[in-house]
Amino acid sequence: IRRITVPQIRDRKGGEPIVSLTSYHAHTAAIVDKHADFILVGDSLGMVMHGMESTVGVPLDLMVMHGRAVVRGTKRALIVVDMPFGSYEESPNMAFRNAAMIMKETQCQAVKLEGGARMAETIKFLVERGIPVMAHIGLTPQSTNVMGGFKTQGRDEDTWNMHIADAKAVAEAGAFAVVVEGVVEPLADQITAAVDIPTIGIGASKNCDGQILVLEDMLGLNPWVPKFVKKYGNLGPAIEQAVAEYADEVKSRAFPGPENVYNNK
């Protein structure tokens, strides 16, 4: 089966909403693959999979390893891999070298990087050289140390022009879509109206051209999730119940049962 392509995602502007989720490992990715248009191997894996406090510490080789797992586990969705903090900001050359490495090593179809107008030159450099780029504006988690935390953007209307200019800059530079994260809803709507590439909302607006959530958040694996996450599942308690039952059965020797052991002839 041929995967969904970058032009197919781009052409969904103003059409049927684009469905996407993050995934970091083969088995969950295979499930998501049945329903998502694209899957993001997000650097949120640093927090979700590896217990880090932010995405700032995520190394490039970790993105490559999880990227490979997700590509192997899927066949239909477009796979986008996040460029981690420190792997692209310095120069277009550096960004190209690392993005090309990610694509060669993982066989993903596109990369995502954070930043608006300031990253436009880099986005153009990559796209002209064969690397599709998804941009990411609004709340950009890799800048958490500058922002002093994860702060909703655009509460002050004086900042709206800057965010809209960011969206226009990445679209102009050739990004095929842009994640709009953590902005007040009317600003997200203005951004969506201002660009001719799909906006993918997270903590943004129902009027974005698509939506994305972190899979583990929407599955209810984390005890706490921000307000923009809707919990479509409650896996945390389900897993705990299974683990507790297993512990009881090990202690009472109810597990393994006769059906779980091997016999000689």
Annotated binding site for Mg(2+): 43, 82, 114
Q: Does 214 bind ligand KIV (CB under 6 A)?
A: yes
Q: Which of 216, 194, 187, 192 is nearest to 45 (CA)?
A: 216
10 Å Cβ neighbour count for 90?
Answer: 11
> Binding Na ion by CB under 5 A: which of 12, 36, 39, 43?
43
Which residues contribute to the annotated binding site for 3-methyl-2-oxobutanoate?
A: 43-44, 82, 112
Q: Where does this chain touch ligand KIV (CB under 6 A) — which range of 24-32, 35-43, 154-162, 222-230? A: 35-43
Active site residue 181: yes
Smallest distance, Å, CB 142 to Na ion?
7
Q: Which of 181, 216, 245, 259 is catalytic?
A: 181
User: 3-class DSSP state for residue 133?
Assistant: strand
Helix (H) or strand (E) holding 173, with range, is helix 160-173
- Does residue 22 interact with ligand KIV by CB under 6 A? yes
Closest CA to 140 of 117, 123, 124: 117
138 touches ligand KIV (CB under 6 A) = no
Confirm if 193 and 172 have CB atoms less than 8 A apart.
Answer: no
Pick the closer one to ligand KIV by CB: 212 or 219. Answer: 212
Q: What is the DSSP string of 54-79?
A: SSTT--HHHHHHHHHHHHHH-SSSEE
Among positions 117-136, residues that touch Na ion (CB under 5 A) are none
Q: How many residues does the chain have?
A: 265
Q: Which residue is nearest to ligand KIV (CB)?
A: 42
For position 132 contacting ligand KIV by CB under 6 A, the verdict is: no
The residue among 84 and 154 lying less far from Na ion, judged by its C-beta, is 84
H or E stretch including 137? strand 133-138
CA angle 220, 143, 96 (to 5 degrees): 100
Q: Is 84 in the site for Na ion (CB under 5 A)?
A: no
- Which residues are catalytically annotated? 181
Q: Which residues bind ligand KIV (CB under 6 A)?
A: 22, 40, 42-44, 82, 179, 181, 202, 212, 214
Q: Which residues bind Na ion (CB under 5 A)?
A: 42-43, 82
